[in-house]
Amino acid sequence: MNPELKKQRPAKKLGGLRRRWLQNTMLVVCALGLVCVFAVTATFAAFYYSNMRSDMRSRAQTTTEFFADYLNQSYNEYYKSCITYAKTFEDREDLELQFISKSGRLVASSHGNWALQVATTPEIAEAVSTRAPRPYVGRDPETGERIMAMSSPMIYSNGEVIGVLRYVTSTRIMDRQIAIVATVCMAVLLVVVAVVLLSSGFFIRTVLEPVDEIIEKAKRIANGSYGTQIQTPYNDEIGVLAETINELSNKISQNEKMQAEFISQLSHELRTPLTVINGWTETLLLDDSMDSMTRQGMKIISGEAKRLTEMVVELLDFTRMQDGRMTLNVEPTDIRGEFEDTVFMYSSRLASDGIDLEYLDSEQDIPEILCDPQRLRQVFLNILDNAAKHGGEGKRIEAAISYEDDQVIVRIRDFGQGIPEDEIPLVKKKFYKGSSSTRGTGIGLAVCDEIVEMHGGALTLENAEGGGTLVTIALPGAQ
């Protein structure tokens, strides 16, 4: 996988997918549930209030028709009849029967003393003006209690409205019933939400667990474990995805093997002619009669042939690393001596390019360690060569070796421009060259990193304080 593309794609967390799934599901369920609770509660409330209003209207009209016989009597006899009827009203526990004068003064009530009381709810005046029964639902102006009232006009024989018959009842019991309905609906909603949560959790597990496995295997494939297969019992879209990744993994594995075989064969084929070229250029350069221009051309040929030979060696090591054929010849080694020899040998080559390779000597004792001296010398040379190529404009390289916390620490620093911060995690990837314009295969650091890891150590790169790049090699000390 292209590291730059991998860098640009933010990894999606399964926890975020699970949370998003549940949020979307529960928001819909809760929203629909609350709408249903509101609709059911509103329907029951409308039903209760409508029935109560119809019942009170029917009662008011019936009672008004009953009192029509008394409306032919005198006012005094009429009022006495109202008081008598109010005192003997049988449904006084559920309803209050009131007789109200046209001016709004309470004439009689089935609930005891009414002297000097005045009814002020608006439906009374409306009933008088419209000459028809009018309802009222709201707060009692006197007590603040929620009530329902029905006022029906009482019309005298001459057509004059002389008063209002009014039924009043508290809505407390009715409101309690509506609250019970709403509570039951909310309890049902909670049960539904719990069931949805359980079922969604089970379903999400059946989706995310195989997806989690697919992601883990896909990461292994992306990290180079080509040929890795995903096992899944599902025959749905997840199964198709797993089979697709398996097929992709197999094809990448086959292509990698073909690529490694091609590079290996090509490298072996190149070694023979390069050996001949190097040999003949060195022989021809021994000829003192060669003119200066020809000698300069032969030196260029010799230098380029050696560079190409180094690339071939890197390619061969890379193919060995890819197919697991890279091995170590471990033996007790004076690692300080190996490092110093490498530095001193390479310093003369860098001096011709105007680069000063400074060895920071230390009197600290460094014990022998078990390692492959040839492979580590290869690592040291490659790191020094990279420092010269990429940080050579600083004209200075520092090299040091020390023994810290039972580890051999090798530090090589150049004083160039350093590495862009976003490229530091990628520079050890195979074939990665980043923004550098320096020629190379892009596999030298990958091979060095593999060799150091085979020794149980670690190779790190970072930008040094004050400029340049610092490469640190940590190897296990004497056991």
In whole angstroms, what is the distance from residue 378 CA to residue 233 CA?
48
Same domain, 308 and 346: no
Whichever domain contains 116, its CATH number is 3.30.450.20
Count of Cβ atoms closer than 10 Å to residue 87 Cβ: 13
pLDDT at 3 exceeding the cut of 60: no
Same domain, 299 and 340: no
pLDDT at 429 exceeding the cut of 80: no
3-state class of 335 per DSSP? helix
> How far apart, in Å, are the Cα atoms of 221 and each of 214, 226, 234, 299?
10, 5, 21, 45
Same domain, 365 and 449: yes
> How far apart, in Å, are the Cα atoms of 138 and each of 5, 147, 202?
68, 6, 50
Cβ contact 410:401 at 8 Å = yes
Instruction: Give DSSP secondary structure letters for 71-114.
Output: GGS-HHHHHHHHHHHHHT-TTTTT-EEEEEETTSBEEEESSS--
Confidence of residue 159 (pLDDT cuts 50, 70, 90): confident
The pLDDT value given to residue 398: 93
pTM of the model as a whole? 0.47
Last residue of a domain, one of 305, 322, 339: 322
In whole angstroms, what is the distance from residue 448 CA to residue 460 CA?
11
Same domain, 317 and 374: no
CA dihedral sign of residues 100, 105, 106, 108: negative
Q: Which of 76 and 97 is assigned the larger pLDDT?
A: 97
Same domain, 337 and 470: yes
**Mean per-residue pLDDT for 336-350?**
88
Confidence of residue 412 (pLDDT cuts 50, 70, 90): very high
Q: Which of 193 and 214 is assigned the larger pLDDT?
A: 193
Residue 84 within any structural domain of the chain: yes
Last residue of a domain, one of 144, 170, 196: 170
Q: Which of 319 and 38 is assigned the larger pLDDT?
A: 38
Q: Which of 286, 292, 372, 288 is nearest to 331 (CA)?
A: 372
**Mean per-residue pLDDT for 247-264?**
75
Q: Which residues contact 459 (CB under 8 A, 6 or more apart)?
A: 379, 428, 445, 448, 449, 452, 453, 471, 472, 473, 474
Indicate the DSSP class of residue 274: H
Same domain, 84 and 137: yes
Instruction: Give DSSP secondary structure letters for 358-424.
Output: EE---------EEE-HHHHHHHHHHHHHHHHHHHGGG-EEEEEEEEETTEEEEEEEE-S----GGGG
The pLDDT value given to residue 72: 66
The pLDDT value given to residue 427: 81
Residue 269 within any structural domain of the chain: yes
Same domain, 305 and 338: no
Residue 186 within any structural domain of the chain: no
Q: Which of 166 and 26 is assigned the larger pLDDT?
A: 166
Residue 398 within any structural domain of the chain: yes
pLDDT digits (tens, 9 = 90+) for 272-301: 788 888 888 888 888 888 888 888 888 888
> How far apart, in Å, are the Cα atoms of 459 and each of 380, 425, 448, 450?
11, 12, 8, 9
3-state class of 45 per DSSP? helix
pLDDT at 162 exceeding the cut of 60: yes
The pLDDT value given to residue 479: 57
Confidence of residue 438 (pLDDT cuts 50, 70, 90): low
Residue 197 within any structural domain of the chain: no
**Mean per-residue pLDDT for 428-440?**
64
For residues 173-191, b (16+ Cβ closer than 10 Å) or e, as one string? ebeeebeebbeebeeebee
Residue 175 within any structural domain of the chain: no
Residue 406 within any structural domain of the chain: yes
**Residue 168 host element (H or E):** strand 161-170
Same domain, 254 and 277: yes
Whichever domain contains 389, its CATH number is 3.30.565.10
Q: Which of 255 and 345 is assigned the larger pLDDT?
A: 345
Indicate the DSSP class of residue 438: S
3-state class of 298 per DSSP? helix
The first and second tokens of residue 252, run together, are 């990448």
Same domain, 339 and 261: no
Q: How many domains does the chain have?
A: 3
CA dihedral sign of residues 456, 431, 279, 326: positive
pLDDT digits (tens, 9 = 90+) for 20-49: 777 777 788 888 889 999 999 999 999 989
The pLDDT value given to residue 5: 38
Same domain, 471 and 346: yes
Same domain, 152 and 263: no
Cβ contact 147:139 at 8 Å = yes
Residue 215 within any structural domain of the chain: no
Expressed as residue numbers, the domain containing 120 is: 68-170
Share of the chain above pLDDT 90, in %: 21
Q: What is the chain's mean pLDDT, rounded?
A: 81
Cβ contact 449:460 at 8 Å = no
In whole angstroms, what is the distance from residue 244 CA to residue 308 CA?
40
Length of the chain: 479
The pLDDT value given to residue 54: 92
Count of Cβ atoms closer than 10 Å to residue 155 Cβ: 15
The pLDDT value given to residue 400: 93
The first and second tokens of residue 204, run together, are 């999400």
Whichever domain contains 256, its CATH number is 1.10.287.130
Same domain, 284 and 382: no
Share of the chain above pLDDT 70, in %: 86
